[in-house]
A and B are shown apart, each in its own frame.
Chain A
Amino acid sequence: MEKSSITKRLGMIGLVITVAVMLAIACATQKKASLTDGSAAEEVYVPPGSYDEYYSFFSGGFSGQVTVYGLPSGRLFRIIPVFAQHAENGWGYSEETKDMLMTSHGFAPWDDAHHPELSQTDGVPDGRWLFINANNTPRVARINLSTFETEDILEIPNSGGNHASPFVTPNSEYIVASTRFSLPIPQKDVPISEYKKHFKGTITFVSVNPDDGLMDVAFQIMVPGYNYDLAHAGKGPSNGWAFFTCYNTEQASTLLEVNASQNDKDFIAAVNWKLAEQAIAEGNYRTMDVDYYHNYLEHGSRTTISENKKSVRILDPASVPGLIYYLPTPKSPHGVDVDPSGEYIVGGGKLASVIPVHSFSKMMTAIENKEFEGEVDGIPILKYQSVIAGEVQNAGLGPLHTEFDGKGNAYTSAFISSEVVKWKLGTWEVVDRIQTYYSIGHLMIPGGDSQKPWGKYLVAMNKITKDRYLPTGPELCHSAQLIDISGDKMRLLLDFPTMGEPHYAQGIPASILQPKTTKIFPIEDNTHPFVAKSEREAGVTRDGRDVHVKMTTIRTHFAPDNIEGVKVGDRVYFHITNLEQDWDVPHGFAVQGMNTAELLVMPGETRTLIWEAKKVGVYPFYCTDFCSALHQEMSGYIRVSPRNSSITLSHNAQR
């Protein structure tokens, strides 16, 4: 009896297992057949303790930040705060960092970050810096890739909607900026309906100091009031030129989706920046009074220096013949991408049925032969047939952006038909296509806009997510997809969610960045005016109603950790110096009732928050970042007495 029941039970279990396994296999086979092939999981799997092959930097779009992902795993390593306050580490809140977000419009705690761009040497990403643009209040930022920290933000004057930015020249001589939204320049009170009469655009070249990376507005070119959309610098034979798409050559100021889609062709502007440099050197420019901010990190104190600047150099195309030529390009072009050889200039005509590819050498010949079909504000318009190298037919609907694999292939994203289309440079034939899920915007191949792409992976950045992940209510993350491009056929490997809207990304082999990482800031080099380099230097001083607390942290205590003699109405400056000199040991600081964000203090640095003493009482402060076994003990108190109290200021740091 007992035996037969066990046998039955075993039989039943066996049956269930068999069915389950069969179902699982059937399921897996179905999935494989439809989307990925068998080895995809292995190809993206990075075992515990191992590293990804590539770092990739995604724009956070409307989060204002940059995110760092590993490829092929799609693992998120870090959010780098750039254009938005970041309560997680006090970026934009602390006294040392808040001035990074200063603009001519005042403190700007948010922006819309679009295009990350790696610095280059000899046309190849070098891993020194990452640049990114702010679209809303026009700015460019520079991130140091040894600290993964924003250390330079430059406002762009005479600009609206800085979208065609911050694409870099082959030796990082310049990054570019431009007006997506033209404006009255200088700003004035005019009827919007008089757009054509009053509105202008600018194309800006921002110089990058080769030693410390500091940015400066080198010059601006005044251009017709179109919408300048994207850009890329020439390379190789076309080095010295930069290319900008523009749409709305109709110069509409309302209902652009209809009114700016009338012309069969808009333009790619080819700008000769070497000639611009020459014009500046010869004094062939005018200066203009403007108002903009340059905010940058002073390294010793790790504190922002904020400079208000008042003048800019302007070049007028009519006064510098040969500075700009317009290449007619169908239709409302979005991306403009230069192939690794520097010969081909690919336009992403988002309403066009073909992908137009211009030839740099044909352009130079056409300029020499004056093959023009017109002129706008002193800018010659070249004949389309004189500059076009070829048109890619059947290239998908809504082509936007193109990157290259360095093996003679180009990959274009097609937004409307939701696909990546692979085609051959020179023959213009489409050789492969792969669906994306859904509505791809930018795509990225590590080094794919440089002279030396690492053509192994392609990342599709999709605008629509819908059913790709478990639902999270009305608001969904955006979705990226990793595609293997090492063979003839593209292969989908992985989906991973992203933050904000990743307009664009850049990738670089980890082996270039990994050895450069900064692990600590040497305490000896800290020049912050309120640093305490030892507990002996910690203490409390009063300056009228301002109380300055110089406090140190080390596992696992604050010094001082008892402060008395503060009175209602005082402004208390907590200057926290982290004495640790060990990698990955930040300390956090927060005090009850503060109206700002916590401080996260890296080893060797000093960070400051202001706390208003509002009410009588004793208030705790504590370390917010788990630091040791006795982290819970890392705390202290500040006592606030009535305004008329006779208690003197005191602390308990050791002497």
Chain B
Amino acid sequence: MKKLNLIIAILFMLGFGWSCSSGDSNSSEQPAQQAANNGLSQWELENGIGPVKAKMTLNAVDSELAASGEKIFDMKCMACHKMAERYIGPALGDVMQRRTPEFVMNMMLNPDEMVKKHPEVQKMLATYMVPMTFQNVSEEDGRALLEFIRANQK
């Protein structure tokens, strides 16, 4: 019984130490909210973390660009993604309603960091159990993929 008390006391101290070391917030956000956001800014929460750091200007779908995106999609994406249904990863036929184009781009270009840091992506990992993987997609390729995805929204 005494031993148990001691263990509880040690655990308590460890817990206290932990909370001390992580409690160095200097932002005005509530700590709980900040923890949920993993320290990401509002822009990053909406648009993801990665090379795309500003809002993109999108025009009407460029069918030629979408066609080149389809080839890359077949090689690097279709093993895990379908448009109409969940497969290894989520269906992409409605992704433009769920995510910003910048988010989609950053997910393709920087999946490792997105999986590690972004709360939305961490939720997806818990659902799908397989992390989105980097497929050596360049920004140019990513843009073509985005166009293909835009062209195939339901």
Is A559 an interface position by the 8 A CB rule? yes
Smallest CB–CB gap between A526 and chain B, Å? Answer: 10
What mask results when residues 573 to 608 of chain A are scored 1 for a CB within 8 Å of chain B, else 0? 000000111100100000000000000000000000
Is B68 an interface position by the 8 A CB rule? no
Smallest CB–CB gap between A536 and chain B, Å? Answer: 5
| Residue in B74, B79, B80, B135 with the greatest tally of chain A CB atoms within 10 Å | B79
Q: Which residues of B contact A535 (CB under 8 A)?
A: 74, 78-79
Q: Which residues of A contact B75 (CB under 8 A)?
A: 523-524, 533-534, 579
B130 with A581: CB separation less than 8 A: no
Q: Which residues of A contact B130 (CB under 8 A)?
A: 555-556, 628-630
B136 with A579: CB separation less than 8 A: no
Residue of B nearest to A603 (CB): B136
Residue of A nearest to B74 (CB): A534
Kindly identify, within residues 107 to 154 of chain B, every residue whose CB is under 8 Å from any CB belonging to chain A: 129-131, 133-137
Q: How far is the CA of A556 from the CA of B128 in the complex (A)?
A: 12
Chain A, interface size category, equals 20 to 34
B78 with A581: CB separation less than 8 A: no
Smallest CB–CB gap between A30 and chain B, Å? Answer: 38
Q: Which residues of B contact A629 (CB under 8 A)?
A: 129-130
Q: How far is the CA of A234 from the CA of B137 in the complex (A)?
A: 48
B80 with A554: CB separation less than 8 A: yes
Smallest CB–CB gap between B31 and chain A, Å? Answer: 29
B76 with A581: CB separation less than 8 A: yes
Smallest CB–CB gap between B81 and chain A, Å? Answer: 11
Q: Which residues of A contact B74 (CB under 8 A)?
A: 533-536
B79 with A581: CB separation less than 8 A: no
A582 with B78: CB separation less than 8 A: no
A582 with B79: CB separation less than 8 A: no
Is A471 an interface position by the 8 A CB rule? no
A581 with B80: CB separation less than 8 A: no
B135 with A581: CB separation less than 8 A: yes
A534 with B129: CB separation less than 8 A: no
Q: How far is the CA of A305 from the CA of B134 in the complex (A)?
A: 32
Interface size on B, residues (CB 8 A): 15
Is A651 an interface position by the 8 A CB rule? no
Known: A533-B75, A534-B78, A535-B79. A582 touches B134 (CB 8 A): yes
Is A408 an interface position by the 8 A CB rule? no
Out of B78, B88, B129, B133, which one reaches A580, CB within 8 Å? B133
Residue of A nearest to B76 (CB): A581
B76 with A579: CB separation less than 8 A: yes
Is A518 an interface position by the 8 A CB rule? no
Is A520 an interface position by the 8 A CB rule? yes
Q: Which residues of A contact B76 (CB under 8 A)?
A: 523, 579, 581
Residue of A nearest to B111 (CB): A582
Kindly identify, within residues 68 to 94 of chain B, every residue whose CB is under 8 Å from any CB belonging to chain A: 74-76, 78-80, 88
Q: How far is the CA of A164 from the CA of B36 in the complex (A)?
A: 65
B88 with A582: CB separation less than 8 A: no
Residue of B nearest to A556 (CB): B130
Residue of B nearest to A581 (CB): B136
Kindly identify, within residues 9 to 37 of chain B, every residue whose CB is under 8 Å from any CB belonging to chain A: none
Known: A534-B79, A535-B79, A536-B74. A581 touches B88 (CB 8 A): no
Known: A535-B78, A536-B74. A557 touches B88 (CB 8 A): yes
Q: Which residues of B contact A554 (CB under 8 A)?
A: 79-80, 133
B79 with A520: CB separation less than 8 A: no
Residue of B nearest to A555 (CB): B130
Q: How far is the CA of A534 from the CA of B137 in the complex (A)?
A: 15
Q: How far is the CA of A585 from the CA of B136 in the complex (A)?
A: 13
Q: Which residues of B contact A278 (CB under 8 A)?
A: none
Q: Which residues of A contact B133 (CB under 8 A)?
A: 554-555, 580-582, 585
Smallest CB–CB gap between A33 and chain B, Å? Answer: 41
Residue of A nearest to B71 (CB): A534
Q: How far is the CA of A620 from the CA of B99 in the complex (A)?
A: 40
Is A426 an interface position by the 8 A CB rule? no
A559 with B129: CB separation less than 8 A: no
Q: Which residues of B contact A11 (CB under 8 A)?
A: none
Q: How far is the CA of A556 from the CA of B87 in the complex (A)?
A: 12
Known: A536-B74, A654-B78. A582 touches B135 (CB 8 A): yes
Is A374 an interface position by the 8 A CB rule? no
Q: Which residues of A contact B135 (CB under 8 A)?
A: 579-582
Is A186 an interface position by the 8 A CB rule? no
Q: Which residues of A contact B79 (CB under 8 A)?
A: 534-535, 552, 554, 557, 559, 579
Q: How far is the CA of A554 from the CA of B75 in the complex (A)?
A: 11
A630 with B136: CB separation less than 8 A: no
Is A237 an interface position by the 8 A CB rule? no
Is A617 an interface position by the 8 A CB rule? no
Q: Which residues of B contact A552 (CB under 8 A)?
A: 79
Q: Which residues of B contact A523 (CB under 8 A)?
A: 75-76, 136
Smallest CB–CB gap between A300 and chain B, Å? Answer: 16
Q: How far is the CA of A580 from the CA of B136 in the complex (A)?
A: 9
Smallest CB–CB gap between B66 and chain A, Å? Answer: 17
Q: How far is the CA of A44 from the CA of B134 in the complex (A)?
A: 36
Kindly identify, within residues 514 to 559 of chain A, every residue whose CB is under 8 Å from any CB belonging to chain B: 520, 522-524, 533-536, 552, 554-557, 559
Smallest CB–CB gap between A476 and chain B, Å? Answer: 43
Smallest CB–CB gap between A530 and chain B, Å? Answer: 16
A581 with B129: CB separation less than 8 A: no
Residue of B nearest to A654 (CB): B78
Smallest CB–CB gap between A215 and chain B, Å? Answer: 31
Q: Which residues of B contact A630 (CB under 8 A)?
A: 129-130
| Residue in B75, B129, B137 with the greatest tally of chain A CB atoms within 10 Å | B75
A-B contact pairs, 20 of them (CB 8 A): A523-B136, A524-B75, A533-B74, A534-B79, A535-B78, A536-B78, A554-B79, A555-B80, A555-B130, A556-B130, A579-B75, A579-B79, A579-B135, A580-B135, A581-B134, A582-B133, A582-B135, A628-B131, A629-B129, A630-B130
Add 5 more A-B contacts to A582-B136, A654-B78 (CB < 8 A): A536-B78, A557-B88, A559-B79, A579-B76, A581-B134
**3 residue pairs, one from A and one from B, having the closest CB atoms:** A581-B136, A534-B74, A554-B79
